[in-house]
Amino acid sequence: MHDPRIDKLANLLLDHSCALQSGERVLIEAFDLPEPDLVCALVEGAAARGAVPLVSTKSNTVLRSLYSTATEASMKAAAEFEGARMRSAQAYIGIRGAANSAQFADVPQPKMDLYQEHWWHQVHGQIRVPDTRWVVLRYPTDSFAQAAGMSTAAFEDFYFDVCTADYAAMAKAQEPLVARMEAADRVRIVSPGTELEFSIKDIPVRPCNGERNIPDGEVFTAPVRDSINGVITFNTQSRYQGTVFSDICFEFKDGQIVKATANETEKINAILDSDEGARYCGEWSLGTNNRVRHPMLDTLFDEKIGGSFHLTPGKAYEDADNGNRSRIHWDLVLIQREDYGGGEVHFDGELIRKDGRFIPAELQGLNEGL
């Protein structure tokens, strides 16, 4: 039986996220989807709008073989092929499902570095992000539901509810937070195991409300590159390149991560040694989607959690640029609600958020549903 929620999501992606117009090309890239329903709805919806849908389906099992056998020459050749297709599109929709979310866990780090530098960065970092109207999302699968600790049916209900939120209302509620962040200089963060300070002075602030990620709900900027000092201990797990990291703790001095520990300390330091920019941060963001409350080992959901923030070693986005450049961009989440240990965020000495709830009167709309 056809699920009408698929059509609602497809329309949101085509109209709100991509603003697809007649005559434009949209590249739809699907990874390990259990069924093609959403891709079919996107193809039919794009065609009905007079646009040209281009479809690429990929298998993570095949990609694992490509990454494991990577050479500089093979990754450059793949980037040339993939890049030509990306350049021809005005819009991009990336949908990821996974039967095994740890598929790339045993690919050697030097091989993943070749992929990141010569394929991903060249195609996605240099073409998709700056030159297309793009959106990325996950697809509900049994393994995704398992990671969230939910039945498949319950997770699907949660997924469609969160993904098809009222993003126009979200955008309105974010406006006063954008103004506060644009006016701020010094940020101080306190949580269990965390005492961190940095500046966001003169760095652009960007609200996210359904145009680049589904689900969405964050307001991001970047720390001034050399300004971070202190210690941060993240209280959520993070899956990166197939490996699950937990108990992540960074010590910063003048913007640089000078000490990093985790359950996989050797591996996390190998990632942070990928290039010169990997030990500096390119993004800091406050999560504002109060329908997402608990981590599920998926960055696109976890970084939006109400009462959270994330800090990102690696590349800065060009529209909130602190000048940091890297092959990596790794969003790491700290939840500050009371049920996760609490915490505070201060702007220039003023308490802005306590235990996940915003304090100033004009920010109260962001607490709805928390």
**Cα–Cα distance, 219 to 214 (Å, whole number):** 14
One domain, residues 195 and 105: no
The phi and psi torsions of 357 (rounded to 5 degrees) equal -105, 135
In this prediction, residue 143 carries a pLDDT of 87
One domain, residues 310 and 246: yes
Last residue of a domain, one of 129, 163, 197: 163
How is residue 96 written in tokens? 């990821």
Residue showing tokens 């235990």: 355
How is residue 360 written in tokens? 């100033």
In this prediction, residue 207 carries a pLDDT of 98
DSSP 119-188: IIIIIIIIIIHHHSEEEEEE---HHHHHHTTS-HHHHHHHHHHHHT--HHHHHHHHHHHHHHHHH--EEE
Residue showing tokens 């700290």: 334
Distances (CA, A) of 62 to 67, 176, 221: 9, 46, 36
Last residue of a domain, one of 163, 189, 216: 163
pTM of the model: 0.89
Given a contact cutoff of 8 angstroms between Cβ atoms, the answer to whether 91 and 134 are in contact is yes
Cβ-based neighbour number of residue 90 at 10 Å? 18
In this prediction, residue 41 carries a pLDDT of 98
**Cα–Cα distance, 248 to 271 (Å, whole number):** 13
The phi and psi torsions of 287 (rounded to 5 degrees) equal -75, 135
One domain, residues 310 and 263: yes
What are the pLDDT tens digits along the chain (370 aa)? Answer: 689 999 999 999 999 999 999 999 999 999 999 999 999 999 999 999 999 999 999 999 999 999 999 999 999 999 999 999 999 999 999 999 977 888 898 999 999 999 999 999 999 999 999 999 999 999 999 988 988 889 999 999 999 999 998 999 999 999 999 999 999 999 999 999 999 999 999 999 999 999 999 999 999 999 999 999 999 999 999 999 889 999 999 999 999 999 999 999 999 999 999 999 999 999 999 999 999 999 999 999 999 999 999 999 999 999 999 999 999 999 999 999 999 999 999 999 999 999 999 999 999 999 999 9
One domain, residues 110 and 183: no
> What is the distance, to the nearest Å, from the Cα of residue 269 to the centroid of all Cα atoms in its chain?
21
Nearest to residue 201, comparing CAs of 227, 178, 224? 224
**CA 356, 261, 338 angle in degrees (round to 5)?**
15
One domain, residues 148 and 177: no
**Burial profile 208-242: b = 16 or more Cβ within 10 angstroms, e = fewer:** bbbbbbbbbbbbbbbbbbbbbebebbbbbbbbbbb
Strand-pair category, 133-138 with 213-214: parallel
**Cα–Cα distance, 106 to 102 (Å, whole number):** 8
> What is the domain count for the chain?
2
Residue showing tokens 């993004």: 283
Q: Residue 88's domain is classified under what CATH number?
A: 3.40.1830.10
**Cα–Cα distance, 370 to 368 (Å, whole number):** 6
Given a contact cutoff of 8 angstroms between Cβ atoms, the answer to whether 234 and 341 are in contact is no
Nearest to residue 214, comparing CAs of 142, 288, 304? 304
Nearest to residue 330, comparing CAs of 356, 299, 301? 299
Last residue of a domain, one of 96, 129, 163: 163
In this prediction, residue 147 carries a pLDDT of 85
In this prediction, residue 100 carries a pLDDT of 82
One domain, residues 130 and 240: no
Residue showing tokens 């609490």: 342
50: containing domain: 4-163
**Cα–Cα distance, 336 to 355 (Å, whole number):** 5
In this prediction, residue 24 carries a pLDDT of 99
**Cα–Cα distance, 140 to 292 (Å, whole number):** 15
One domain, residues 74 and 111: yes
DSSP 265-277: HHHHHHHHTSSGG
One domain, residues 110 and 251: no
One domain, residues 363 and 296: yes
Strand-pair category, 91-96 with 213-214: unpaired
